[in-house]
Amino acid sequence: MLELLNFGFEFVEIFAFIVLATVGLAVIFGMMGIINLAHGEFILVGAYATTFTFDAGLPLPLAMLAGVVLTAVYGLVLERLIIRHLYGRLLDSMVVTWGISLVMIQLTRIVFGNTAPGIGIPYGQLPVVDGPIYYLVLAVVAVGVLGGLYALFTWTDFGIRARATMQDETTARSMGVDTDRMYMTTFAVGSGLAGLAGALYAPVMTVTPEYGTGFLIETFVAVVVGGASVLVGTVLASGLLGTVNAAVTNVAGTFMGQVAMLIAAIVAIRLMPEGITGMLADWRESRGESQ
């Protein structure tokens, strides 16, 4: 029984981590096909904003909100200044975001030094399982973010325009959708979500200039395994990778858990080169044809 609880807790912890770290990247990838190599540094902005506003005396939730808003604004500025010149040039935009990432890591080091003030993990420890309550809070937030995105993409006018742009940019534009603005807004939303990940994990992981790179492997792997469809892809990829990681971690330790997760990811990409959602789309199409 305890074994099962431990596994459950481990899964919840890893699932929440992958969802929160990935979802911002997935929103931008799904919309524009760009993998934002500076994603880790957007997370870094969120973490630093949270840490320093908290250090200045703001209550933690407000400090986290500040992290999200600042990162969204930061993403918006970058999009207007640089990224928008690169639409339609996928590989170039990835290369440029990598350049941005290099600059940001080093600038952070120069301006703030190698350490930042720490934040203690709030809410204390769980009773039965060995772990902080805060991880459960993170899981709730992760599910909340997914639910919020679902609502945003299905029920709002913005969501319908966004999905139209994703499916067929030219047609969407000819139907009167301002696709340029859609891209701008999506980039800001994606950045804000990256900021949220940074803010939420600021108490858990030590905040340094390399903080963002601690998220990179999981996020890239999850986005590639998930494929182009943002919500379904993120959920399925996080579920798959989280299960493998948690199961192996429970038996053989954290490092082997990570290794197993990466092997699972590599096998998944080999079997489904367009990601899980790419395969689902193919499958749906072929079923439609046979009927």
**Residues in touch with other proteins (CB under 8 A):** 33, 35, 82, 85-86, 89-92, 94-96, 98-107, 109-110, 213, 216-217, 220-221, 223-224, 255, 258-259, 262, 265-266, 269-271, 273-275
Q: Given the complex with other proteins, which of 23 and 68 has the nearer CB atom?
A: 23
Q: Given the complex with other proteins, which of 232 and 262 has the nearer CB atom?
A: 262
Is 197 within 8 Å of 237 (Cβ atoms)?
no
Q: Given the complex with other proteins, which of 39 and 161 has the nearer CB atom?
A: 39
Q: How many CA atoms lie within 13 A of 268 on its CB side?
A: 26
Name the minimum Å distance from CB 137 to other proteins: 27
Judged on CB neighbours under 10 Å (0-12, 13-18, 19+), 157 is exposed
Q: Given the complex with other proteins, which of 58 and 100 has the nearer CB atom?
A: 100
Name the minimum Å distance from CB 241 to other proteins: 12
Name the minimum Å distance from CB 21 to other proteins: 14
Q: What's the one-letter identity of residue 264?
A: A
Q: Given the complex with other proteins, which of 99 and 122 has the nearer CB atom?
A: 99
Is 225 within 8 Å of 269 (Cβ atoms)?
yes
Q: Given the complex with other proteins, which of 65 and 260 has the nearer CB atom?
A: 260
Name the minimum Å distance from CB 50 to other proteins: 23
In the three-class reduction of DSSP (H, G, I as helix; E, B as strand; rest coil), residue 42 is classed as helix
Q: Given the complex with other proteins, which of 40 and 203 has the nearer CB atom?
A: 40
Give DSSP secondary structure letters for 131-190.
Answer: SBTHHHHHHHHHHHHHHHHHHHHHHSHHHHHHHHHHH-HHHHHHTT--HHHHHHHHHHHH
Distance (Å, whole) CA 27 – CA 197? 14
In the three-class reduction of DSSP (H, G, I as helix; E, B as strand; rest coil), residue 227 is classed as coil
Nearest to 272 by CA among 218, 223, 226: 226
Name the minimum Å distance from CB 290 to other proteins: 22
> Which pair of structure tokens corresponds to residue 41?
């540094």
Name the minimum Å distance from CB 157 to other proteins: 30
User: Which residues contact residue 233 at a Cβ distance below 8 angstroms, ignoring those fewer than 6 apart?
Assistant: 26, 30, 223, 225, 226, 227, 275, 276, 277
Name the minimum Å distance from CB 151 to other proteins: 28
Q: Given the complex with other proteins, which of 203 and 212 has the nearer CB atom?
A: 212
Name the minimum Å distance from CB 291 to other proteins: 26
Q: CA dihedral defined by 91, 93, 98, 101, rounded to 10 degrees? A: -160
